[in-house]
């Protein structure tokens, strides 16, 4: 327990709350030009009603990840609720990965 930094864990929890409620700016990079923002279904439209704001660049990176690594048929509408929930979790995982990559890029500039 000596290595646990509760302040950092609290910051991650706060970011998750902000992430799920954000509108009007990209939840990955913070870009806020309304002409560059797009709505994104967290686990794809066929699986999730949760929509967040992403800029075109971040949305493109997320979509590329979906096409490259998601299981076949992820966009089909006819799936069990368990599979849909799993795909929402996959979408959240991808978004968290994009966010962490962005943080690491910014800190190395």
CB environment 64-101: b (16+ within 10 A), e (fewer): ebbeeebeeebeeeebeeeebebbbebbbebbeebbee
pLDDT for 103 beyond 70: yes
Averaged confidence pLDDT in the chain: 83
pLDDT digit string, tens, across residues 7-36: 777 777 777 776 666 578 899 999 988 889
**37: β partners:** 55
pLDDT for 50 beyond 60: yes
**pLDDT for position 1:** 47
Residues 35-52: what's their mean pLDDT? Answer: 86
* Closest by CA position to 91, among listed 74, 105, 109, 73: 74
**65: β partners:** none
Residues 83-102: what's their mean pLDDT? Answer: 90
């Amino acid at each position: 327990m000596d290595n646990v930094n509760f302040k950092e864990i609290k910051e991650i929890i706060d970011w998750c709350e902000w992430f799920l409620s954000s509108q009007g700016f990209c939840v990955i990079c913070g870009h806020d030009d309304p002409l560059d923002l797009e709505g994104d279904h967290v686990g794809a439209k066929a699986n999730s009603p949760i929509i967040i704001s992403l800029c075109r660049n971040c949305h493109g990176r997320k979509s590329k990840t979906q096409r490259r690594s998601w299981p076949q048929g992820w966009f089909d509408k006819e799936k069990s609720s368990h599979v849909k929930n799993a795909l929402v979790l996959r979408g959240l995982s991808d978004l968290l990965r994009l966010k962490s990559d962005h943080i690491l890029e910014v800190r190395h500039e």
